[in-house]
Structure 1
Amino acid sequence: MVADTSAAPSTAEPDPRPAAAGRPKRRSPAWVAMYHSVSDCPDDPYNVTVTPARLDRQLAWLAGRGLRGVSVRELLAARARGAERGLVGLTFDDGYTDFVTTALPVLRRRGFTATVFVLPGLLGGENTWEPTGPRKPLLDVDGIRRAVAAGMEVASHGLTHLDLTRATDQVLHTEVDDSRHRLAGITGGDVEGFCYPYGRLDERAADAVRRAGYRYACAIGPGPVGAGDFALPRIHLGRADTSVRLELKRRLARVWGRAVEAV
């Protein structure tokens, strides 16, 4: 859960100047979209819910511009080949049950994939970390396996949605390492990705994720200097994001520091 921190700065505008003569035009940067719950529930105090109809329109907007939504795992593999052009990473935090029941059918109609970050310490539970707002069920073992069978990437959001920057060393180790091992036991495959709860991280948290054997980790804004793929920035998308707002967010991805840079 996290509030939308990606509102465009009022003074930031795309650079209209053409590329210098003799230089190749810089490619549009790859970027990663951040979703949470997909539901028609109108009670949304943290701005983490998008309706199924809005999600469908947003994915249609991507498709209409020749873009394809993919999991972060697929995006990074394509980037390694220099083939990330036309791809947008799609992520869904917290592992709500509505990812399988509501978001998954929309994704499959478009031929898109996504990464869902789940909480193996709260399987079949609820979003108890939110002090107010509606209680929403979380994926259980069967739901996670359904997501994997549908071609989605299942990755870790920690065990219990704790702020890792405030955790003791032992709790940090448990949240990061144990969640990876538990998920591997459920999915039957390697777990490559991690997502910092609340988007909060520091050098200690990033180092713990790296040592645990993950391939990457998602944040919100840019992370500590040198974090690289262990603090991948994302752009929050919500129910208010119509085509105009989507275009603005796409164009300003690099300005905001929300672009996934080539390495």
Structure 2
Amino acid sequence: MAVPVDSPDTGRRLAAGPVPWVAMYHSVGDCSDDPYRITVTPERLRAQLRWLRRRGLRGVGMTDLLAARARGQGRGLVGLTFDDGYADFVDTALPLLRRFDCGATLFVLPGRLGGDNAWDPLGPRKPLLTADGIRQAAAAGVEIGSHGLTHVDLTRADDATLAAEVRDSRSLLAELTGAPVAGFCYPYGTVDRRAVAAVRDAGYAYACAIDPGPLTGPHALPRVHIGQNDTAVRLFLKHRLHRLRRRPVGGL
């Protein structure tokens, strides 16, 4: 179960330290047609989770990870995140997470409930979770975070759109799940100072990007893409090289 976040300032209270290792997943299913490399098969996810556990690592949701690090108890924990809220998360990913005693954060789009990934022009179309599916994931202990309302690039959004994507998505998800929403994930991983400020001011405790560079901090956390080609050797290298590539950052 996710650890409650006491206030939006939780992320800022963390001591300076190395950036946490956070894996970025999307869909779990058939990857025969996967132009954006967003899908891993159930068999591959099973092997990746088994690799983590055999190395003494356990995947957890982001709020749990950051709270543990704030207590000095984050050793052996890595973040597992799933973007977009694909319907296959509940049917396919969740049983595997349970099997390996792992948690995760699921970033969803309350403006596209029961829709599909229309923002990917090359397809294929993948169904997204309905409101009931999101509640099912939350009831199973998965942390629910916002991925915005409709998956737009926030760095190109006007002020009204930016406010709706950030603030309205948080309030809608809180109403849907009956729980506060601590985390945000930038669509496409694109981020700038204006987007970071909007997310912070909206009350999120943390936010995930992909490679935010100098913006790295509690509201712009880097993540490592994990895909179908990530075998044990590639996972080892991605995890081992992370600390060499990421300098310690204040507030983490």
The structure whose RCO (Cα within 8 Å, separation 6+) is larger is 2
Structure 1 gap segments, 5+ residues each: 1-26
Corresponding position: 1:248 with 2:237: yes
Instruction: Check whether the contact 1:221–1:258 (CA below 8 A) recurs between aligned residues.
Output: no
1:129 is matched with 119
1:238 is matched with which residue: 204, 214, 227?
227
Q: 1:119 & 1:228 partners in 2: Cα distance?
A: 23
SS in 1 for 2:218: helix
1:257 aligns with 2:236: no
Mapping of residues 169-180 of structure 1, within 5 Å = 169-180=159-170
Report the residue type matching 2:144 in the other structure. V
1:133 offset after TM fit, Å?
2.2
Amino acid at match of 2:179: G
Shift in Å at residue 173 of structure 1?
A: 0.4
Equivalent runs, 1:35-54 vs 2, <5 Å = 35-54=25-44
| Conservation of the 8 A alpha-carbon contact between 1:117 and 1:195 | yes
Unmatched tracts of structure 2, length 5 or more: 1-16
Number of residue equivalences? 236
Q: AA paired with 1:164?
A: L
Q: In structure 2, what is the equivalent of residue 17 of structure 1?
A: none
Q: How does 1:213-232 map to 2 (within 5 A)?
A: 213-225=203-215, 228-232=217-221
- TM superposition shift of 1:29: 6.3
Which residue identity does 1:45 align to in structure 2?
A: P
Q: Distance in 2 between matches of 1:62 and 1:260?
A: 25
Task: Give the Cα separation in 1 of the matches to 2:90 and 2:20.
Answer: 26
Which protein has the larger Cα radius of gyration, Structure 1 or Structure 2?
1
- 2:57 & 2:250 partners in 1: Cα distance? 17
Q: CA deviation at 1:171?
A: 0.5
Question: For residues 259 and 188 of structure 1, do their structure 2 counterparts lie closer, same or farther at Cα, with a shift above 3 Å needed?
Answer: farther
Question: Taking every aligned residue pair, what percent have the same amino acid on both sides?
Answer: 66
Paired residue secondary structure (1:229) = coil
Contact 1:31 1:260 in 2 (8 A): no
- Cα deviation per residue 1:198-237 (whole Å; 9 max; x = unaligned)? 0001000000000000000000113444x51000010000
Moved over 4 A (4+): 258-262
Which one of the candidate residues 77, 91, 95 is aligned to 2:81? Answer: 91
Q: Does the CA-based 8 Å contact 1:203-1:224 persist in structure 2?
A: no
Residues 127-146 of structure 1, C-alpha deviations (whole Å, 9 max, x = no match): 00000121100011100000
